[in-house]
Amino acid sequence: MMEWHSFRLELPSNTPFARVEQIALEQVIFPHMARTGKNSYADLGVRGRVSGSAGMSTFTGEYLL
């Protein structure tokens, strides 16, 4: 059974959401899959962006694993 998981990534504010999804796959989801032995994910989505300091933002999102 798949469960919802969330992520937060701090990246430059001008990062396109498609690139944030790619980074989430590389830095969050694939390592999570390796740790848990799962071989699939679903419904990856970037849900929001909160501006931070010095041109950086915190991007949040969710995925099923």
Q: What percent of the chain stands above pLDDT 90?
A: 97
Predicted TM-score (pTM) of this structure: 0.91
- pLDDT tops 90 at residue 53: no
C-alpha 50/C-alpha 17 separation (Å) is 13
* Tens digit of each residue's pLDDT (9 = 90 or more) over 29-44: 999 999 999 999 999 9
- What pLDDT sits at residue 4? 98
In the chain, how many H helices and how many E strands?
Answer: 2, 3
